[in-house]
Amino acid sequence: MSDVHVLPAPILPDAWQDVDTSIDTEPPELLSEEQLDRYAETVAALLRGAGLCVEITPLTAQVQLDITDPTSDLSAELVIDDDRSAAWTLHGESDLPPGTTTRTLAGLLTTILGAAGRRQDPPTT
């Protein structure tokens, strides 16, 4: 059985105070297109409040958010299902330069995945 690690409390942008997140108190209604749209709009508003650019594309029983960071070449594709589950893919639009050090590469991935400041023993597999 694998260990379950507790995620650290996120640092929330000040702009999030202005976003209505009351959708979180509503039980998910499968196939409710209106509720899925409001949920996606709320997630998008939170991401925009954090300084990211977001484009929303409705799909069949899903919504796709294309998220870009205007300060870097990083982006993400987030697909939200009608049950509020989600899958995402992260992208770096340019290659790292030749000769990138191991610490630079690991530091970039640590920052992206939010692991900075956490210390744990590496998994043994």
Q: What are the tens digits of pLDDT across the range 10-51?
A: 666 778 888 888 888 888 776 588 899 999 999 999 999 989
Phi, psi of 42 (to 5 degrees): -70, -45
Does 119 have pLDDT greater than 60?
no
pLDDT band at 9; cut points 50, 70, 90: low
Q: Which residue segment(s) compose the domain that 64 sits in?
A: 14-94
Q: Are 46 and 16 in contact (CB under 8 A)?
A: yes
Q: Are 22 and 39 in contact (CB under 8 A)?
A: no
Extract the tokens encoding 83: 């049950």
Q: Is 51 within the bounds of a domain?
A: yes
What residue has token string 């484009």? 55
Q: Count the helices and strands in the chain (H runs, E runs).
A: 2, 4
Extract the tokens encoding 76: 């993400």
Q: Is 110 within the bounds of a domain?
A: no
76 HSE (CA, 13 A, CB side): 18
Q: Is 111 within the bounds of a domain?
A: no
Q: Is 4 within the bounds of a domain?
A: no
Q: Provide the number of structural domains found in the chain.
A: 1
Q: What are the tens digits of pLDDT across the range 52-102?
A: 999 999 888 899 999 998 888 889 999 999 888 999 998 887 778 888 888
Greater pLDDT, 124 or 88:
88
Q: Are 63 and 56 in contact (CB under 8 A)?
A: yes
Q: Is 113 within the bounds of a domain?
A: no
Q: Is 9 within the bounds of a domain?
A: no
Extract the tokens encoding 54: 């977001």
**Is pTM, for the whole model, over 0.85?**
no
